[in-house]
Structure 1
């Protein structure tokens, strides 16, 4: 049976604060640990008022201190935004603080628009085309490779496990070539899921880190005691996707009854397509959805994504998702 992990974008609601969102993340991580989740992922996004995880390594330190044994991972760091040495130092520090618990997922998207990317980097000389070379350089820093001529301290010798993240075939090919674990962002970009996993497994070459393919994929879960309540909870995330796709992202809004049905047919179709890797309903409904998703993908880890407006409802959804997994 695959491991179950959780992806937190640390959402900021229209009635909340960043401080409250960070407190919620720590509480949710403790809750996930108690429920038996394997890993708590946090993603890097920038310039978005509804997401509080921009300083990803800092947020992971916050979550690490709130927990005892659950693995904590960047899902992921957008490497074109950073010098590999800086990331080696940050995650080497995390590994020193939380030995054996830290994972470093890497993506090549900017996690922002081009203006924000330029503000982060000062220039755009470093871009996604350099991503494979940046991954190799980061590996070398974490391994303490003397050929670099410089040392990342903390970082060198920590050998923090790397993952490659993606929503296209590029990441699958790179992860296979480097012999690294691969995670697919099917919770919002499901189109290439099956082909990417097939390419990754067929082309995989064993490495010092990994002897056989290890794949994860993300799956949205909105669970409640009734289907009606779960559908209501899911409407906040649906609003967020529509806002993002129409160029108007913002803070997470409260659920709206009948929201999806209120949209024009083309918008409903887009939403259904983007969120096709999802389960909305009771623990039984989620169990059915997870069972079908696992049978389809054969992944080693299912990454639950679940942005819900009310924190207590989100905690309950997380518990129901684990209950569903245990039914399989």
Structure 2
């Protein structure tokens, strides 16, 4: 079992957008958050590819990663993840090969097989490009070749890209990527920050199928965890109402623009919606530093995770920074 002292903690930023600020402010906030968590002792800072969502500003993922890496000095920066079916593997190899050449030893390439959007937007992204999620294993293999050593018979190369050996992760919320990551000997990140139901089974499948590779000799599991940490449980619960409203809007198909916290969610959701939000946040760490530390200890005992990557979508940027600081202090990494 992973001991708390050995646990690595990281940040997944969904680059949330407020209606009164706009995407530019969100992108600047993302860099500011990365700079803060770097000082707090977080291991990596990832952003995710989403499209056609007015409340998430990380659609141009590789461009944003370059901005974040350029404004930090030591924290690993990467994708959590790039939705590979949206792209030709060569394009991603060139983009991340460029990033790795500019910021050697600091770039991660997390890969997902979902579109990160609705089907209409997926079509707009891909147009006539053949392929989809079913081609994911072949696309991962092709991408791996582009980032690996150049061979004598290789006709197509990624420049920059070849020989960079950018660390590749598989991400998932089901069992497909868990099995594939295990069979390929890759690190695996489970999206328990929004789909915790299959977490334990996915970890089991990954570990049972794991075969050592040239890059990884034993399984490595990272879990996505929503969190809101404040000085008191009461304040944390109050701040978390912004998160509840955002997920409620997602469920209803409404705008994902951030909303300020409220004293009570009564009257804002129906009972079945409250239950759906609760299921979505089944692993959320909400409370004081003492409370969240105890919950993390239980999670580690149950899963043996090697790393936790926290996401925290609060209305006020300062509250997000403080939440990450308190979590780091609670886990004795700051």
Fold shared by both chains (TM-score > 0.5): yes
1:67-122 Cα deviation digits (max 9, x unpaired): 10001110000000000000000000110111100110000000001111111111
**Aligned with 1:110 (options 104, 112, 115):** 115
Paired with 1:123 and 1:232, the residues of 2 have a C-alpha distance of 47
Tell me the secondary structure at the aligned position of residue 314 of structure 2.
Answer: coil
Paired with 1:32 and 1:215, the residues of 2 have a C-alpha distance of 21
**Aligned with 1:74 (options 57, 63, 79):** 79
Tell me the secondary structure at the aligned position of residue 111 of structure 2.
Answer: strand
Paired with 2:85 and 2:327, the residues of 1 have a C-alpha distance of 34
Is the CA contact (8 Å cut-off) linking 2:248 and 2:269 kept in structure 1? no
**Aligned with 2:308 (options 278, 286, 302):** 302
Bigger drift between 259-268 and 106-115 goes to 259-268
**Aligned with 1:46 (options 47, 51, 56):** 51
Paired with 2:81 and 2:38, the residues of 1 have a C-alpha distance of 20
Tell me the secondary structure at the aligned position of residue 326 of structure 1.
Answer: coil
Paired with 1:250 and 1:6, the residues of 2 have a C-alpha distance of 20
C-alpha displacement at 1:250, in angstroms?
Answer: 2.6
C-alpha displacement at 1:231, in angstroms?
Answer: 1.0
In the alignment, structure 1 residue 14 sits paired with structure 2 residue 14: no
**Aligned with 1:23 (options 21, 24, 28):** 28
Alignment size in residue pairs = 327
C-alpha displacement at 1:21, in angstroms?
Answer: 0.5
Bigger drift between 215-224 and 257-266 goes to 257-266
Aligned to 2:9: 4
**TM-score by structure 1 length?**
0.97
C-alpha displacement at 1:124, in angstroms?
Answer: 5.8
Aligned-residue Cα RMSD (Å) equals 1.3
Bigger drift between 224-233 and 72-81 goes to 224-233
**Aligned with 1:141 (options 146, 170, 192):** 146
Paired with 1:168 and 1:196, the residues of 2 have a C-alpha distance of 7
Tell me the secondary structure at the aligned position of residue 253 of structure 1.
Answer: coil
Gaps in structure 2 of 5+ consecutive residues: 1-5
Aligned to 1:221: 227
C-alpha displacement at 1:125, in angstroms?
Answer: 2.3
1:128-156 Cα deviation digits (max 9, x unpaired): 00000000000000014434411100101
Aligned to 1:37: 42
1:258-288 Cα deviation digits (max 9, x unpaired): 1267522211111111101111111111111
Gaps in structure 1 of 5+ consecutive residues: none
Paired with 2:176 and 2:120, the residues of 1 have a C-alpha distance of 24
In the alignment, structure 1 residue 101 sits paired with structure 2 residue 101: no
Paired with 2:288 and 2:267, the residues of 1 have a C-alpha distance of 20
Tell me the secondary structure at the aligned position of residue 219 of structure 1.
Answer: strand
1:276-301 Cα deviation digits (max 9, x unpaired): 11111111111112111111111110
In the alignment, structure 1 residue 195 sits paired with structure 2 residue 201: yes
Aligned to 2:324: 318
Paired with 2:21 and 2:266, the residues of 1 have a C-alpha distance of 24
**Aligned with 1:180 (options 186, 192, 196):** 186
Aligned to 2:3: none
Tell me the secondary structure at the aligned position of residue 222 of structure 1.
Answer: strand
